Amino acid sequence: MLVNLIREGLGRIIAAVSVLTQGKPMARSQEQQAEVTAACKNLSLYQFYACPFCIKVRRKMHQLNLPIEFRDIKKNPEFRSELADNGGRGKVPCLHIEENGDVQWMYESNDIIAYLQQRFV
C-alpha cells in the first residue's frame, strides 16, 4: 500500500513537470491538421495519468499535435475490461489502432512513439 502511494505521488509529480515543460505542439496548415485529426479518430490510448511510460507517450502526442482519445483505465473500469479482454493484457500504455477493418493493440511506449512518428511526421 505504501509503495503504491509513493508510486502514485511520484507519478503525479512527473506528470506535472511534463505538462509544465512540454513546449508548443507541431504547427500544421488547417488542411493538414484536419487530415491528422480525422486519422486520429481511429486511435485511442489506454493509459493512466501517473504512469511514467504513459506520460512519455502523451508528451510525444502533444509534440506531434495529435488529438488521440485518452482512456484512463484507473478511472473507468470499462476501459480496463476492454483492454484486458480485447488487447490480451491490462498493461498500459496501449495504443488501440483501427485501420481498414483491422484492429491492433500496440503496447510498449517506444513502439507507440515510433509508430506515431512514422505515421504523422
β-strand pairing of 69-72 with 102-107: unpaired
Residue type, 110: N
Comparing 20 with 62, the larger pLDDT belongs to 62
Mean pLDDT across the chain, nearest whole number? 93
Q: Indicate the Cα dihedral angle 17, 13, 108, 4, nearest 10°.
A: 180
Does the global pTM surpass 0.75?
yes
Question: What is residue 1's predicted lDDT score, i.e. its pLDDT?
Answer: 81
Question: What is residue 54's predicted lDDT score, i.e. its pLDDT?
Answer: 97
Q: Average pLDDT, stretch 105-118?
A: 98
The count of structural domains within the chain is 1
Helical ranges in 1-121 per DSSP H: 2-21, 30-40, 52-63, 77-82, 109-120
pLDDT in tens, 48-99: 999 999 999 999 999 999 999 999 999 999 999 999 999 999 999 999 999 9
Question: What is residue 2's predicted lDDT score, i.e. its pLDDT?
Answer: 83
CATH of the domain at 61: 3.40.30.10
Question: Containing domain of residue 103, as a range?
Answer: 2-23+32-120
Going by C-beta distance under 8 Å and a sequence separation of 6 or more, which residues neighbour residue 26?
Answer: 63, 64, 65
Question: What is residue 14's predicted lDDT score, i.e. its pLDDT?
Answer: 84
